[in-house]
Amino acid sequence: MLLFLSLLIILMCAFIGYLVYMAYHDTIDDHTIYNQALPKEIGNVTLFFISDVHTRYIKETTLNEIKKPIDLVIIGGDLTESKVPLSRVRENLKRLKQLHAPIYFIWGNNDFEVNVESLERILYEEEVTILANKGMHIHKNGASYFLLGLDCCNKREANIEAGLKGNDGEYCIMVTHDPSAFYALDQEHIEKLNFVLSGHTHGGQIRIFGMGPYSRGGYRKYKDTEILTSEGYGFTKLPFRLGTRSECHVITITHQSSETYSEKYGN
C-alpha cells in the first residue's frame, strides 16, 4: 500500500510538472498567407503577433529565435491583468522593441483590471500605438494596406464603422481580442476584411481527452477571410497547459502565389 501511494504521488508530481512545463514552453508558429489582394508593390508583410501574455515575462530567448525581418509587432490584448506590476508590462514592451518594428496594441478584457490611465501612459512612453475601434494605413514600397483594431469587451463596445473609416478597398488586417467579435459582424463588413487576428480563448488552456471550454486555436477560413485564433502566450489563474500551446506567431503575407514564393524563398 505504501509503495502504491508513493508511486501515485510521484506520478501526480510528474503530471503537474508537465502541466507547468507546457505553460512555459514557448512555440513560435511560422506561417505564410498567400493573397493577391495585397498590392504587388508591397511584396511581403511579416507580422509578429502575440496575445494573452497575462502574468508572464516574454522570453528574450524566444524572440532571439526570430530571424525574419519584422514589419509590425501586434499585441492582441490581455498584455496584463490584475496584480501584475506595471514594471513587468514595461519590460515586456522593451523586449518586443528588440524586434525593431512599430508596435500596435489592441485592448483585451483583462487589460481593464489594471489602472487604464497608467497602462496607457506606459504604452505611450514605449511608443506603442493603441488601436481602439481605429484603423490606419500602413505604407511600404510606395503602396499601402490597412490595419484596424476592433474593441470587443464590455468596457468598450465594438464599432466596426469607425475602425474601417478611411479604408477604400485596401488589403485589410483586423485585430480583435475575442474571435467572436468577428463572427458578430454583418456580411457587408466581413467582406472588407482579408485577415483577422485574435486570441482570448487560450485554445481552452487545459483539454481533457481533447475536450475543453473553447476550440483549439489555429488558422481557419471564413469565405474569403483568413482567420488566426492564437492559443495565447500566457495562462489564466493556474500556470498549467494541457493539449494546448504557449505560442506566438510570425506571419508572412505575400502577394505571390505559393509556387512563386517557394521558388524565391525556398519554403
User: What pTM value is reported for the model?
Assistant: 0.94
Task: Read off the CATH number of the domain in which 180 is found.
Answer: 3.60.21.10
Q: Structurally, how many domains does the chain consist of? A: 1
Return the pLDDT at 1: 77
Percent of the chain with pLDDT strictly greater than 70: 96
Cβ 93 vs Cβ 101: under 8 Å = no
pLDDT at res. 257: 65
Which range is most confident: 210-214, 237-241, 258-262? Answer: 237-241
Give residue-wise pLDDT tens across range 135-191.
999 999 999 999 999 998 777 889 999 999 999 899 999 999 999 999 999 999 999
Report d(CA 87, CA 65) in Å as an integer: 24
The grid coordinates listed for 107 are 485592448
pLDDT tens-digit map of 34-70: 999 999 999 999 999 999 999 999 999 999 999 999 9
**Could you tell me the residue range of the domain that residue 181 belongs to?**
2-265
Q: Would you say how long the chain is, in residues? A: 267
* Residues contacting residue 250 through CB under 8 Å, at least 6 positions apart: 28, 29, 30, 31, 46, 47, 48, 66, 68, 70
